[in-house]
Structure 1
Amino acid sequence: MNRLYALASAGFCVASAALITSASAFPSEEVPKSEPEYIAKAKTAAPASVVNNATITMPQPDGSSKTVQAGSNGFTCFIGKDGTPECDDQNAMEWRKALQANQAPPNKIGFIFMLAGDTGTSNHDSTERHTHQHWVQTGPHVMIVGGAAHEMLSPYPRDVDVKDATQPFVMYPGKPNEHLMIPVHSQEITTGSTR
């Protein structure tokens, strides 16, 4: 259990230290069509030290996915159908694939960066996004996902109607894809000049 909390704390610190954008900004729902624009938007999901060495994949008109940047660090970055850029570690990608195949998530812990924020969804069911019921939109955040992460969810709010999306909470409580959302706050960097 201590390992799980250490992982969450480390992720929070890394994301907090790397974040320099405004916490009030959210990404647009646009999924760029040109590779340079797509790569630029995908790279807003995580710190440069992650995205510059990550694989970036781009959906193609035929439904396939094309690698537009080969990576070496085990992270895969992409833009979701809703326009949200994200970077998933290998375990998070396994979690995502299992859920898409209606299989139980692997008993692993995965980590996801979404430092550009998200475009919002229904916290009851991601397939109900269009209803805007139980709506939640989160600014810059990281996520802890996977079957092995479930034991760390109990201390966090599990309300389907999120009361404060600037604090950690459980996304999709009680669903197979439930996971921990950890908002990160921006840091203003100021430089002084000497005269």
Structure 2
Amino acid sequence: MNRFYALASVGFCVALAAFTTTSASALPTEEVPKTEPDYIAKVKTAAPPSVVNNATITMPQADGSSKTVQTGSNGFTCFIGTDGTPECDDQNAMEWRKALQAKQEPPNKIGLIFMLAGDTGTSNHDHAERHTHKHWVQTGPHVMIVGGAAREMLSPYPRDLDVKDATQPYVMFPGKPNEHLMIPVHSQELTTGSAR
């Protein structure tokens, strides 16, 4: 896929996300619902209906396994992270995520992640340091461009650990193997800085 096609695809996805997101939506809570209906309802805030209604939805189980509660057909997998953030990842983003969890080099592909409900915040230095609130950033509705092949796209965007404006595109986890581009889809007052 050439760079122009990739950027055009990203532009279309951002426009679609902006069109389907309402500015009145609240940021998600850290709760991970325990019942399937509540879990699915929260997951469905992550992406446009045309994506999430045709995606695979997985739900964590008490034994640490994951259960498929909806079988999809479009290559996206939607779930709620341990921090309560609902998201929908395309196949390349899922490969990126699995490589990072296995402490392997991310594949040289570009992946797309929808987080149209926003996120619950993290440390922009390292998600494992979330509890410290250092370099804290919380982003409203956004899409993410991830993967080894996406690194070339990151150079023009701010790489500050303390994000100055989370309503504008910026690099999350700069310099880390999991660095990626965050693209907010509309303005919203957000929490940034070294502490909440």
TM-score normalised to structure 2 length: 0.92
| SS of structure 2 residue aligned to 1:149 | helix
Letter in structure 1 aligned against 2:125? H
Larger Rg: 1
Alpha-carbon separation, structure 2, partners of 1:112 and 1:82: 16
Match of 1:20 among 15, 19, 22: 22
Match of 2:12 among 1, 7, 10: 10
Partner of 1:85: 86
1:69-99 residue CA offsets vs partner (Å, 9 max, x unmatched): 1100000000000000000000000000000
Partner of 1:73: 74
What is the number of residues matched between the two proteins?
Answer: 185
Query: Offset of 1:21 from its aligned partner?
Result: 4.5
Partner of 2:177: 176
Partner of 1:95: 96
Query: Offset of 1:108 from its aligned partner?
Result: 0.3
Does structure 2 retain, via aligned residues, the 8 Å contact 1:26–1:118? yes
Runs (5+) with no aligned partner, structure 1: 187-195
Partner of 2:56: 55
How do 1:28-47 and structure 2 match up within 5 A? 28-47=29-48
Alpha-carbon separation, structure 2, partners of 1:133 and 1:19: 29
1:11-47 residue CA offsets vs partner (Å, 9 max, x unmatched): 2111111112526x21000000000000000010000
Letter in structure 2 aligned against 1:132? H
| SS of structure 2 residue aligned to 1:113 | strand
Letter in structure 2 aligned against 1:71? G
Letter in structure 2 aligned against 1:107? N
How do 1:99-114 and structure 2 match up within 5 A? 99-114=100-115
Query: Offset of 1:185 from its aligned partner?
Result: 1.4
Alpha-carbon separation, structure 2, partners of 1:82 and 1:95: 19
